[in-house]
Structure 1
């Protein structure tokens, strides 16, 4: 007697496709467990379905394969879960590996470029600071050298000190300037102790006041505090004064802008 006659191939196909109810599935599974012919029929149908799927390009999922083997009571073959690589798959995998390697190389190149760029700019900044420090140091050395030379000349001369004060005038009552005059050599040096900052279009001008009236003997730099500034030669004077004049100085003093005055004793 043909046992398969009790259950049609259509029923078995519906079982494999999961289209049967739970009761119908249990009945098919019981029949497959009792009769080897039905179990073999299920196996052949399952193989045919896999072959059809492979030809159409539809790959059954691993879960579907495992479920079918479990329902039939078969042990899932170790090789059934591995899909053979086609030449196209191998080519795709090779290009993917190349793309990953190229991407990694690009990232590493970017990291190194950023690192060396930062080091370059840091080195440039360190060099700029060093040059600036050396420039400042050289300027300080030059100033100190000039002061030393001035001090040597000052000590070698016979200078009288004439203090110029601004307390008697409204413009800058706290202004203070020292004039050093070597009468025998007609040399005049000015040393600023305190003078206010002027507008860019103005200057301080020093005047030697004698019998013939005030004579301009040079411009005073208010920012050179404590330095000895060389003025024009003076052979005779009864007083010295400083006024605020237009940039570059004037021929005659602007008396309403008198800042300091000091008489020669």
Structure 2
């Protein structure tokens, strides 16, 4: 018989686990009595199982271990000689107690790992949502600060218009091909000569260009400031205008020009 092949077949491990049939168990017991190598292997498997049991945290008492080894020794020593006149009695193999402990410990450990993973996922999910809420709160707080500053600025400008004698001069681009939808309002106080511009609609320009406001009076057009197209629905203060029969905006090179470029006329409005 090839003893090493029999040991490597896995039957000895199944015997210790109580997973063999009665006939296979009797075969293992008979061979262990005949071959010391098989008996030694069975003892080593038992020791390995108890060592695994110790690592899983469930350690059988010495009394339980003694009963297991005594039971195994009795199996090794008993003669399997069934009477000729009577059929062989089936041997009952009882599941080893350490196996129940090991299975229970493994289930507990597995459930503990699942619980740890679940709570870790929940923790990181809550942490990410909390961080997102903080970032959103910071963004909203910054937007609120910007809007509050803009509101205060508009409030001051509104009070300025109310406190003076400002005349609104609407300027439209309907009569020009350059920007027919352009709309800009000029507020001019003749007494204080203050001028404010409110942009409703002006197209963006190239980096090398600017919108320039002109006050057209008895002495011809006078440049009184650069108009920023992106600052809509707010008041941009220009230079003072002593006299004006009309206001106009043209597209000029960056920084403005001494005289308006008439072919780049965008909007114009007459003072009533």
Normalised TM-score (structure 1): 0.63
**Matched position secondary structure for 2:212:** strand
1:239 and 1:218 mapped to 2: Cα distance? Answer: 15
Gaps of 5+ in 2: 1-26, 43-80
RMSD (Å) for aligned C-alpha atoms = 3.8
**Matched position secondary structure for 1:137:** helix
* Alpha-carbon spacing, 1:215–1:102, altered in 2? closer, same or farther (3 Å): farther
CA deviation vs aligned residue, 1:220-258 (integer Å, no higher than 9, x gap) = 232333322211111122321101223443343222211
Aligned twin of 1:179 = 186
Aligned twin of 2:135 = 128
* Alpha-carbon spacing, 1:46–1:251, altered in 2? closer, same or farther (3 Å): closer
Aligned with residue 56 of structure 1, among 16, 32, 38:
38
* Alpha-carbon spacing, 1:120–1:46, altered in 2? closer, same or farther (3 Å): closer
1:83 and 1:159 mapped to 2: Cα distance? Answer: 103
**Matched position secondary structure for 1:208:** strand
Residue 186 of structure 1 deviates from its aligned partner by 0.9
Aligned with residue 260 of structure 2, among 241, 253, 259:
253
Residue 50 of structure 1 deviates from its aligned partner by 5.3
2:194 and 2:28 mapped to 1: Cα distance? Answer: 122
1:178 and 1:82 mapped to 2: Cα distance? Answer: 100
Q: What is the correspondence of 1:188-227 to structure 2 with a 5 Å cutoff?
A: 188-227=195-234
**Matched position secondary structure for 1:167:** coil
1:47 and 1:206 mapped to 2: Cα distance? Answer: 111
1:76 maps to 2:76: no
Aligned with residue 157 of structure 2, among 143, 147, 150:
150
Aligned twin of 1:231 = 238
* Alpha-carbon spacing, 1:248–1:95, altered in 2? closer, same or farther (3 Å): farther
Residue 166 of structure 1 deviates from its aligned partner by 1.5
Residue 178 of structure 1 deviates from its aligned partner by 1.4
Normalised TM-score (structure 2): 0.61
